[in-house]
Amino acid sequence: MSGETLFEKIISGKIPCHKVSEGESWFAFLDIFPRREGHTLVVPKHGVKHISELSDKEISELFVGLKRVQSILSNYFHTEDFTVCVHDGEKAGQEVPHVHIHVIPRTPGDGGLTLMSMWPNTRNAGGEANHDSLGILASKLRGDFDETP
């Protein structure tokens, strides 16, 4: 990635933030345009665009950071429920080209919706599962599907 990302500038202190917590390889701060109070971003200190560019150790430590942030938010907002979201790349909605986990505390009546609300017109939403097509896709993904008749 060329140049520092916005998040790398935040981590280095070049841009101010509202820090929530920090670990050796991750940093957590409040989102400046929160979906609700407490909306926190957990980012790896290593600035990469996609999760696949992180080492297994970095991914593990990032999720330790997620767990720590959830504990902090849980204590403050008196909840055990969170929406946890990652937009992995631009086409997935990632606005800053640096891996980040959105951690949003959820409480009754907070106005937040479910994943299904993001795709309300998905075929078969709420209907019967198509296990035949799911089985074929799973086989193809595993690489053990024979496409010859």
Q: What is the pLDDT of residue 149?
A: 44
The answer to whether the predicted template modeling score (pTM) of the entire model surpasses 0.75 is yes
- Do 78 and 106 contact (CB within 8 A), yes or no? no
Q: What is the pLDDT of residue 2?
A: 57
Q: What is the pLDDT of residue 107?
A: 94
Residues of the chain with pLDDT under 70: 1-2, 118-119, 122-126, 145-149
61-93 residue pLDDT tens: 999 999 999 999 999 999 999 999 999 999 999
Nearest CA to 117 out of 142, 140, 83, 145 is that of: 83
Residues 94 and 97: their CA atoms lie apart, in Å, by 7
Q: What is the pLDDT of residue 112?
A: 86
Neighbour-count burial of 14, counting CB atoms closer than 10 A to its CB (0-12 exposed, 13-18 middle, 19+ buried):
exposed
- Just list the catalytic residues: 100
Structural domains in the chain, sorted by start: 6-118 (3.30.428.10)
